[in-house]
Structure 1
Amino acid sequence: MVTRRTFLGLLASAVLPSPLAAADVDNEPEYLADWLRAGQLPHLAKRLPKFPRVVNVAAMGRTPGHYGGSVRTIIGSQNDIRFMTIYGYARLVGYDRSLTLQPDILESFSSVNDMVFTFKLREGHKWSDGQPFTANDFRYWWEDVILDKQLTPGGGALELRPHGSLPRFEMLDELTVRYSWDDPNPGFLSTLAAPQPLIIAGPAHYLKQFHKKYQDSIRLASLMQENRAKKWQDLHIKMGRSYRPENPNLPVLDPWKNTTAPPAEQFIFERNPYFHRVDENGRQLPYIDRMILNISSSSIIAAKTGAGESDLQATGIDFSDYTFLKEAEKRYPVKVNLWKMVRGSRVALFPNMNSADAVWRDVLRDVRVRRAMSLAIDRHEINMAVFYGLGTESANTVLPDSPLFKPEYASAWIAHDPDQANALLDTAGLAKRDDDGIRLLPDGRRMEITVETPGESTLDSDVLELVTDHWRKIGIALFTRVSQRDVFRSRAMGGRIQMSLWYGLDNGVPTADMNPAELAPTTDDQMQWPLWGMYYLSRETKGVAPDVPEAAKLVKLLHEWEEAASSFERAEIWHNMLAIYADQVFSIGLVNGTLQPIVHSSRMQNVPDKALYGFDPTCYLGVYMPDTFWMKEDRPNA
């Protein structure tokens, strides 16, 4: 058999001995001094794995730092503590800045034909409570979580069973596990590297106390009452949730660990004394001791950031806040950088082809209508008026930063051509107009379309105001409805939305080995086809099958990608899907390559001046390793 890719986790074997040899008292964080003096923590050499991950900070074009400091950031709700899991970006395998997969928590991994994956753990690696992290943690998650029908009634994540069946799991020894499929699963590694990663291991020594198989029934009932859980499986899920780390007692492998139980207005994350990364000088990462997350109303995060109340802010602020934030540099010790957003479009319009309104549903399924709506929009005006000309007028597709980019995807049906748009609508059977020039639907109603948005940015209303004028010229009356995000999503999934304004493709910088599922109906929260997505997500038990041939073709191509045996084949499939998606205008992209403000303390070092910014695959700040950021001057801990 051919080994398609094998990566070793010893990133710079020639320098490994020196950091380990230097792991002495001089490299201990002062923050841990009291625990060390009291004998409550072992010294650094015994806290680190035998072969830690060595991050050569200087080779990244940055400056090796020193320990210390607390960093404040602002979040919009308690749920947003998940940003710490995303920013910390500790994954079994993860992307580097060039979006190449490499081992992180793992010491190494190998893949044979994308069917057999072998993972080697780091000897001596420990959870944040000092307990060993071993293959037994994978075995527990496999045998007692995934295979337990009460904990996992659906049969396991779809990423684990892309062809319907779960893999075979083997624990080869205390540090080695293997997952084997009979058919290729090329998306497996990328799901482990995702912002919300596929979980295949957990701290067995801690979680067993919440599992019916291991815990005395009386004690389990007491724990359920104590933690307000009606079922033992609800208790296990609540106490073991790692993506949104609300349980301060849950051992983690992240650079910082939560110390605050909810509900709270402030969450404090402290350095993990057993974190597995060190710099080239043997200093354990992270450099920063504490991350302090203060909850505030989402609507005033930008104002608070501009008032100097945040030392590191990426979420809750937008390009529309840039001028105000830039002015703050004159008043407070902060710096504002602009990173390039990786979304396929900063905002996009999503015609709902699953609309509950049968007339509108048929109209929006006509590709001539979708193309006409796209051609009527003056993207240059939007770019100049809303983004100061700094974005790129484009369909909702991949960016030039992606190896899959082709100019014809970006330019598909985006030329501002009202005449062609009017002609397309006429040929689509929508030629009749009323006295105001508004076209009439087949049932005689005016062609009045309501575009719904969660209204989380003033950019949304600015863009829709311009589109309203553009569409009025082709006989379409646009109205805007704003609702809260949860209500907005619920209405979209229920077919009660005709069209929505939302972000474009999450991942605008994919490689051939990244899953193209976003281009096909695969989830029930895709605004243009939620019922088709539900059909795929539920394994054809809910929702409805796609009955537009091109949408069904996208699902077929996705299955072909999942079975492809090489990156070359996967790239060809990606291009087929991108071509169909662009030509069919399943979403109407406007402008991409827009800029995102990143605000940080002027004392904070190693924050890139320019970078790619997005949820997937860059994990916002995650691939730029915030554990290597450091404060040039310490602020008093507060």
Structure 2
Amino acid sequence: MKRILLSGVALIALPAVAYANCPAITVADPMGVAAGEFPQQYELSAFQEAAGCSMEFSTNPDIEALNAQIKGNGDLPALADRLPSEPLVMVPYDSVGQYGGELNVLSNATEAGTSDFLSVRHVNLVRYSDDLQTIVPNIAKSWTWNDDYTQLTFTLRAGHKWSDGEPFTSADVAFWHDSIMLDKNIYEAPRDYVTVGGETMTVETPDDVTVIFNLPAPKPGLLAHFATSYAPGFLPQHFLGQFHPDINADADSYAQSLGFENGYDAILAYYGNSDWTDTPTPMLSRSAIADGLPKSTLPTLESHIYITDTTEGRTLVANPYFHQVDSTGQQLPYISTQDELYINDNEVRILKLVNGEVDYKSQSVRLESAPLLLENQEKGNYSIQLKPTVGMPAFSFNLTSEDPAKRELFNNLRFREAMSVAINRDELNEIAYFGQGTPSQIAPFNPAPNFVDPKWESYKAEFDPDTAKAMLDEIGMVDTDGDGFRELPNGEAITLNMQFSTQGIAGRVVELVGQNWADVGVQTQVKEVTPDEYRSAQSSNNLDVGLWQYGAPLAIHLGLNSFFRVPFGTYFEHRTGMLWAEWLDSDGATGVEPPDYVKKLADDIDAFQSAVPGTPESDALGAGLVETFVSNMVMIGTVKAPEPIYASNNLKNFTEFKTWSYEYYRTYPYRPTQWWLDE
């Protein structure tokens, strides 16, 4: 047996018991049980029918001790009262797991660079299966569309509960949509995924388990959005609603009794003003006020919930009300605790991986570190997968720079074309990617659907420094003082400040491209910063050059318009043209009016999302989006290449990933709730 230390108390983690009530089928050995409607999972009734069994349920022997560490949770009822009436049956990849252990992971910082870890416990209404093609149930039990994709109906699980034992119902979806996403006290403007062509949706809840999204125009990609987004489509009304004036007339006075300024102040403290669900948890770190609060963090439907939060890292314990079980009836997750350590220094991060101190890592681990990681696999007791990316390292110029001379230069298409052909992508591939990649222009759709003309993958992507120099001469950017570097057309000196974070792009890539640009006479200065510093500079319009991954699969573009609508990404992605975005978002009241091609992209992505995928109309719109985007050099692509995925050999049921991918939400398709630790 194995001893686990939880908050200073030694607990015994018992090995899994072999259950005879239902067969211990796995993906590797289905034992003759017919596959269900969806890959690698069943609804309970469907599994019992397929396996000819009546499932009995069991739980982690340490679950009461784990629950006791969740502030605000009462004593646990029986397991049957914690599970939905029809839990989701997950078929393990290789083996029925053992309870216990602690998953050790690294994140970059308290906010940036945590999506890798969040994806391990993440849930949403639906998800993609690991074929990255099939959308399958998760929080929702099922869904239906009407004929013209203007109404999406979800059926939830009867008896589903939040991590504090309170019922999860359709009211929590309506609360998320109506009282949070559409409340201007929380979001100044609605997020694009709750709009269709700029118009908001409505939500109906005819009963506790039925949610109806009514769309003002067709948007077939809304389902794919829920399958990939980090932002779940629900929030705990029973808790946050206490602070919302639309739900509780005494919201302000109740919040003030707890030390908040008003109800909205409490909501923003618990939830933040962002749909990113992994922001630091202030009530866990501010112990001076935490003792008087009903809860330290929001109740969750995820597999684990935070119990500590410091500047060094965070700790989570298993959700005692989680809605999934394995094929023998054991409640998931198997892993009892998770420990997140903040390591922003790349050298320290790689050293910890090499030493085998981590159980899983993907984000911010770049191919340039692969030789060292591969060399030490046996010694460190871990394995490395090299998998293709969905995005590619891309460069953009700040098209709304606060510097008028730079803004004029960056908006000159000939300048952007010159800087593209100045990049030696073959050399970049050989040096930074060990010859494992494919040089390419930017690929907004990746992998490219049939409607994308292959010519755009090589557009202005040939290495031609002489042409680059001629283009720069043509626009009046010449070396006037003889120092070997060109000045701006107005005679002023210019240095391109290239700040980057390894979370978004490899440092070697930035250095090589910076040298390519210097070789044609454009001076550059490369500096590594933290993800938070990079995003702060990007959001405040202070970058010269955007340096981050760019690109997404068709499924993402069907539900999220941000890749084609200025600033061409969310807070966590590659963005440029911040003042143009401000103009569009304010209907021209503030910001800077964008050129016609930017307005056309915004209109065309809305039309594309309303078209039925695979139809001639949809394909024509998609092809047009690519042409407009690439021909205007909004982003400059480099090399499509694989990146490393790291997993301890002690981590069981860890399968082969298909991509190194934020866009499919990292581990989410690969079912980390059925991972277990054999230590």
**1:215 to partner: Cα distance:** 4.0
- Equivalent of residue 350 in structure 1, options 388, 396, 413: 396
Matching residue of 1:103 = 137
**1:148 and 1:439 mapped to 2: Cα distance?**
50
The residue type paired with residue 552 of structure 1 is K
Instruction: Within 5 Å, give how 1:559-574 maps onto structure 2.
Output: 559-568=606-615, 569-574=617-622
* Structure 1 counterpart of 2:430: 384
Unaligned runs of 5+ in 2: 1-36, 68-73, 284-295
Where do 1:456-475 residues align within 5 Å?
456=502, 460-475=506-521
> Higher mean Cα deviation, 169-178 or 536-545?
536-545
SS at match of 2:239: helix
In 2, distance between residues paired with 1:332 and 1:482?
28
User: Of 244, 250, 254, which aligns to 2:278?
Assistant: 244
Deviation per CA, 1:584-617: give whole Å up to 9, x if none.
222111112232x22222121222334212222x
Letter paired with 1:583: S
What is the CA-CA distance between 1:105 and the residue it aligns to?
A: 0.4
Cα distance in 2 between the residues matched to 1:16 and 1:539:
55
SS at structure 1 position matched to 2:550: coil
Within 2, Cα distance between the matches of 1:153 and 1:515? 17
Aligned to 1:220, the other structure's residue is in SS state helix
Distance in 2 between residues matched to 1:359 and 1:31, nearest whole Å: 64
Pick the aligned partner of 2:211 from 170, 177, 180.
Answer: 177
Q: What SS does the corresponding residue of 1:119 show, helix, strand or coil? A: strand
Per-residue CA deviations over 1:185-225 (Å, capped at 9, x if unaligned) read 344333333443154x32222233333425476543121x1
Q: Secondary structure at the match of 2:105?
A: strand
CA offset digits 1:367-409 (Å, max 9, x no partner): 2221121112111111111111112111121576443555322
> Does the residue aligned with 2:200 lie in a helix, a strand or coil?
coil
Q: What is the alpha-carbon distance in structure 2 between the residues aligned to residue 542 and residue 20 of structure 1?
A: 65
Aligned-pair CA distance for 1:516: 4.5
Q: How does 1:230-379 map to 2 (within 5 A)?
A: 230-240=261-271, 243-244=277-278, 246=281, 248-260=296-308, 262-263=309-310, 265-299=312-346, 300-343=348-391, 345=392, 347-379=393-425
| Equivalent runs, 1:421-432 vs 2, <5 Å | 421-430=468-477
Q: Deviations over 1:136-172 (max 9, x none)?
A: 323444554456554x463643432334443333221
Matched to 1:203, the amino acid is: P
Alignment TM-score, normalising by the size of structure 2 = 0.80
Displacement of 1:180: 1.1
Give the distance between the partners of 2:311 and 2:398, measured in 1 at CA: 39
The Cα of 1:320 is off from its aligned counterpart by: 2.4
Counterpart for residue 125 of structure 1 = 160
Given the alignment, which residue of 448, 457, 463 partners 1:416? 463
Q: Give the residue type in structure 2 aligned to 1:161.
A: T
Residue 364 of structure 1: CA displacement? 2.2
Q: What displacement does 1:484 show? A: 4.7
Measure the CA separation in 1 of the matches of 2:103 and 2:523: 48
The match for 2:5 is: none
Q: Deviations over 1:3-25 (max 9, x none)?
A: xxx99996686424578965435
Q: Pick from 83, 97, 100: which aligns with 1:65?
A: 97
Of 46, 51, 59, which aligns to 1:28? 59
- 1:424–1:141 distance in 2 versus 1, CA, 3 Å: closer
Alpha-carbon distance in 2 for matches of 1:355, 1:482? 20
Confirm or deny: 8 A CA contact 2:126 2:140 kept in the other structure: yes
Q: Could you tell me how far apart the structure 2 residues matched to 1:149 and 1:424 are?
A: 47
| Change in CA separation of 1:368 and 1:85 when aligned onto 2, cut-off 3 Å | same
Equivalent residue of 1:65, what SS?
coil
Say whether residues 1:503 and 2:548 are aligned partners. Answer: yes
Give the partner amino acid of 1:374: S
SS at match of 1:15: helix
Report whether the alignment pairs 1:476 with 2:522.
yes
The structural deviation recorded for 1:487 is 4.4
Distance 1:544 1:567, change over 3 A: farther
Q: 1:141 to 1:330 in 2, by over 3 A?
A: closer
- 514-523 or 47-56, which moves further after superposition? 514-523
Please tell me whether the aligned partners of residues 24 and 45 of structure 1 are also in contact (alpha carbons under 8 angstroms). no
Contact 1:450 1:481 (8 Å CA) reproduced: no
Which residue of structure 2 lines up, in the alignment, with residue 114 of structure 1?
A: 149
The number of residues matched between the two structures is 609
Structure 1 residues 306 and 399, CA gap change in structure 2 (3 angstroms): farther
Q: Determine the C-alpha separation between the residues in 2 that align with 1:288 and 1:380.
A: 44
Q: How many angstroms does 1:357 deviate by?
A: 2.8
Cα displacement string for residues 420-451 of structure 1 (whole angstroms, at most 9, x for unaligned residues): 323333443446765455444321235x4313
Over the matched positions of the two proteins, sequence identity in percent amounts to: 25
Q: Secondary structure at the match of 1:545?
A: coil
Give CA-to-partner distance per residue, 1:262-305, whole Å, 9 cap, x none. Answer: 33634222222222222333332222222121234444222222
Alpha-carbon displacement from aligned partner over 1:204-254 (angstroms, at most 9, x marks no partner): 22233333425476543121x1xxx33320202322468127364422111
Aligned residue in 2 for 1:3: none
Deviation for aligned residue 1:92: 0.8
Q: Which AA in structure 2 matches 1:205?
A: H
Whether 1:441 and 2:488 are equivalent positions in the alignment is yes
Q: Residues 492 and 34 of structure 1: is their aligned pair in 2 closer, same or farther, counting only changes over 3 Å?
A: closer
Contact 2:96/2:326, CA 8 A, preserved across alignment = yes
Distance 2:114 2:427 in 1: 38
The range that moved more, 354-363 or 136-145, is 136-145
Q: Is the 8 A contact 2:389 2:641 kept in 1?
A: yes
1:318 Cα deviation (Å)? 2.5
CA distance in 2, matches of 1:450, 1:216: 50
Correspondence 1:209 to 2:242:
yes
Structure 1 position 15 matched with structure 2 position 15: no
Quick one: which of 554, 561, 566 aligns to 1:521?
566
RMSD: 3.4
Structure 1 pair 410–608 and aligned structure 2 pair: CA distance change class (3 A): farther
2:589, 2:305 → 1: CA distance?
Answer: 40
Going from structure 1 to structure 2, the CA distance change for 1:469 and 1:83 (only over 3 Å counts) comes to closer
Task: Give the C-alpha shift of residue 532 in structure 1.
Answer: 1.3
Task: Quote how far apart the aligned CAs of 1:353 are.
Answer: 1.8
> Conserved in 2, the CA contact under 8 Å of 1:433 and 1:475?
no
Change (3 A) 1:508 1:478: farther
One-letter code aligned to 1:176: T
Distance 1:99 1:503, change over 3 A: farther
Judge conservation of contact 1:82–1:243 (CA < 8 Å) in 2. no
Report the TM-score, using the length of structure 1 for normalisation. Answer: 0.85
* 8 Å Cα contact 2:152/2:212 also seen in 1: yes
* C-alpha distance in 2 between matches for 1:593 and 1:406: 21
**Cα distance in 2 for residues equivalent to 1:19 and 1:539:** 58
| 1:20-59 mapped onto 2 (5 Å cutoff) | 22-24=54-56, 27-32=58-63, 40-58=75-93
CA contact (8 A) 1:524 1:530 kept: no
The answer for the alignment partner of 1:601 in structure 2 is 648
Structure 1 segments unaligned to the other structure (5+ residues): 1-5
Going from structure 1 to structure 2, the CA distance change for 1:157 and 1:593 (only over 3 Å counts) comes to: same
The code of the aligned residue for 2:214 comes to: S
Aligned-pair CA distance for 1:626: 0.9
Alpha-carbon distance, 1:552 to partner: 2.7
Whether the 8 Å contact between 2:244 and 2:251 is mirrored in structure 1 is: no
